[in-house]
Amino acid sequence: MNKVLIIGCGGVGTVCAVKCAQNPDVFNEIVIASRTRSKCDAVAAAIGAPNVSTDQVDADDVDQLVALLRKHQPTLVINLALPYQDLTIMEACLQCGVHYLDTANYEPRDEAHFEYSWQWAYRERFEKAGLTAILGCGFDPGVSGVYTARAAKHHFSAMHNLDIVDCNAGNHGKAFATNFNPEINIREITQRGRYYQDGKWIETEPLEIHQPLTYPEIGPRESYLMYHEELESLVLNFPTLRRARFWMTFGQEYLTHLRVIQNIGMASIEPINYNGMEIVPLQFLKAVLPNPKELGENYTGQTSIGCRISGIDKQGKPLTYYIYNNCDHHKAFEETGMQAVSYTTGVPAMVGAMMLLKGLWLKPGVHNVEEFDPDPFLDEVAKQGLPWHEIFNQDIEL
Ligand code: NDP
């Protein structure tokens, strides 16, 4: 009997719950728990299956989490709350003997700082407990790492350059909105850029480096070099890499709004005192921005996310390789009620959970996705709505 507990019921949590419910042979029982139970109830009602139930939890509180896990006794927790809750949920999983999976690495609330060290520090404890923790199993991080693992397993004897390219060519019709949690998203985009070159990390000003890249079925889009968390584990797990970078597209309108938000202090995470009340400007901004969960209905266009890799193939010849998925916002909405950014994160989270429950990705310790066999995951993720395509020896522009 497999029982999963999904914590967090935003856009990503909703997609993951819908997709788990579509696979009842693997996910025999599903519990959705979040800070606001009414949101979980609404999702469970929309799914309308007898094996889906809900609960309430403040995932910042280890004691509450432990009580929740003892009550439901799941095999696995799928953490789709915010990165702030990663460590408390991992701690509760250890106390209750439950496997763990998430889609974003831990971030302390008071510092926009992304690194795996906090979660990797749990390796020995998970290993000793015989429990598996799978880190970063959304699209990027997530499928981006599995694509890289496929390239290494099947196509390259040595990968030299890796560029993860993430394009959202969708249109939601709003002047400004973020596609996932606005607080987490703006913290990520406004930080300094960083990429890996010849064993060193090179820092840039935020969004300083950019160039047009051509995306399949979309065409050229200005793409901006940013730091992204999966680069940290990929350069360690694939040491032949000489350069590893991450690119994301932004429209001019989005960047203008972002600049204004920063210039007027609304992106700040320093608390201020307003009329006797402590307010974090970025958290207040999140409260007035459109809810990413509600963008889906009028969203048109596609996302295109993939890996462009160059190096030496298994026969010793130079090879360029591009593996990607395009996902249509409207199709994602029709299936799950959510737009493609939530969809492309929630589907891989479900597939990663499926791999663990089937025993295919079961390895005590704390692991990034590229440390597992990419083949069963990629077979399944294609069946579950995210087909992927490969292009060999064409101009990868980077
Ligand atoms: P949302 O803000 O839409 O949802 C977050 C959910 O977590 C909400 O239901 C929220 O509850 C809940 N939550 C927040 N704090 C707590 C808490 N203390 N206790 C319990 N529940 C809590 O975010 P998204 O669904 O857009 O994103 C979810 C996660 O997915 C994020 O960590 C994000 O970084 C990650 N992500 C990963 C991607 C990838 O490709 N790897 C891409 C996109 C997102 P409430 O409703 O009460 O606020």
CATH number of the domain that residue 233 is part of: 3.30.360.10
Q: What is the pLDDT of residue 110?
A: 84
Block residue for tokens 């070159």: 197
**How far is 45 from 22, CA to CA, in rounded Å?**
14
Report the atom number in ligand 1 closest to the C-alpha of 183. 2
Q: What is the pLDDT of residue 111?
A: 81
- Please tell me the residue having the least CA distance from ligand 1 atom 23: 181
Provide the H-helix boundaries in the chain. 11-21, 37-47, 62-72, 86-96, 117-120, 123-129, 143-150, 182-189, 230-237, 252-263, 281-288, 329-336, 340-357, 374-383
Which of residues 135, 166, 187 is at a domain's end?
Answer: 135
Cβ of 104 closer than 6 Å to ligand 1, yes or no, is yes
- Please tell me the residue having the least CA distance from ligand 1 atom 42: 345
Cβ of 347 closer than 6 Å to ligand 1, yes or no, is no
Q: What is the pLDDT of residue 268?
A: 93
Of 91, 248, 111, which is closest to residue 180 (Cα–Cα)?
248
Pocket mutation for ligand 1, best pick of 35, 41, 43, 167 (most atoms within 8 Å of C-beta): 35
**Low-confidence residues of the chain: pLDDT under 50:** none
pLDDT 10s digits, 92-111: 999 999 999 999 999 998 88
Q: What is the 3-state secondary structure (H, E, C) of 247-305?
A: EEECCHHHHHHHHHHHHCCCCCCCCEEECCEEECHHHHHHHHCCCHHHCHHHCECEEEE
Do 95 and 201 have their domain in common?
no
Cβ of 16 closer than 6 Å to ligand 1, yes or no, is no
Which of residues 85, 115, 135 is at a domain's end?
Answer: 135
Do 216 and 331 have their domain in common?
yes
100 located within any domain: yes
Cα of 182 from ligand 1 centre, angstroms: 10
374 located within any domain: no
216 located within any domain: yes
Domain that holds residue 193: 143-339+387-392
Q: Which CATH number does the domain housing residue 21 bear?
A: 3.40.50.720
pTM value is: 0.96
Do 295 and 249 have their domain in common?
yes
Do 80 and 182 have their domain in common?
no
71 located within any domain: yes
Of 162, 212, 146, which is closest to residue 368 (Cα–Cα)?
146
Would residue 385 be called left, alpha or beta, if left means φ above 0 and alpha means ψ between -120 and 50 degrees? left
Do 248 and 327 have their domain in common?
yes
Cβ of 283 closer than 6 Å to ligand 1, yes or no, is no
Of 169, 191, 164, 192, which is closest to residue 179 (Cα–Cα)?
169
Cα of 315 from ligand 1 centre, angstroms: 44
372 located within any domain: no
Of 115, 85, 321, 344, which is closest to residue 233 (Cα–Cα)?
115
Do 25 and 163 have their domain in common?
no
Cβ of 181 closer than 6 Å to ligand 1, yes or no, is yes
Contact 41, 20 (CB under 8 A): no
Cβ of 325 closer than 6 Å to ligand 1, yes or no, is no
Which of residues 111, 135, 159 is at a domain's end?
Answer: 135
- Phi, psi at 170, each rounded to 5°: -90, 165
Do 279 and 320 have their domain in common?
yes
258 located within any domain: yes
382 located within any domain: no
356, two tokens = 């663990």
Cβ of 109 closer than 6 Å to ligand 1, yes or no, is no
Do 109 and 75 have their domain in common?
yes
Of 173, 87, 144, 186, which is closest to residue 322 (Cα–Cα)?
144
Q: What is the pLDDT of residue 369?
A: 98
Q: What is the pLDDT of residue 322?
A: 98
377 located within any domain: no
pLDDT 10s digits, 308-366: 999 999 999 999 999 999 999 999 999 999 999 999 999 999 999 999 999 999 999 99
Block residue for tokens 């095999």: 75
Do 120 and 215 have their domain in common?
no
- Please tell me the residue having the least CA distance from ligand 1 atom 26: 180
Do 203 and 325 have their domain in common?
yes
Do 252 and 315 have their domain in common?
yes
Domain total of the chain? 2
130, two tokens = 């015989």
**Looking at this protein, which amino acid is placed at residue 315?**
Q
Do 127 and 189 have their domain in common?
no
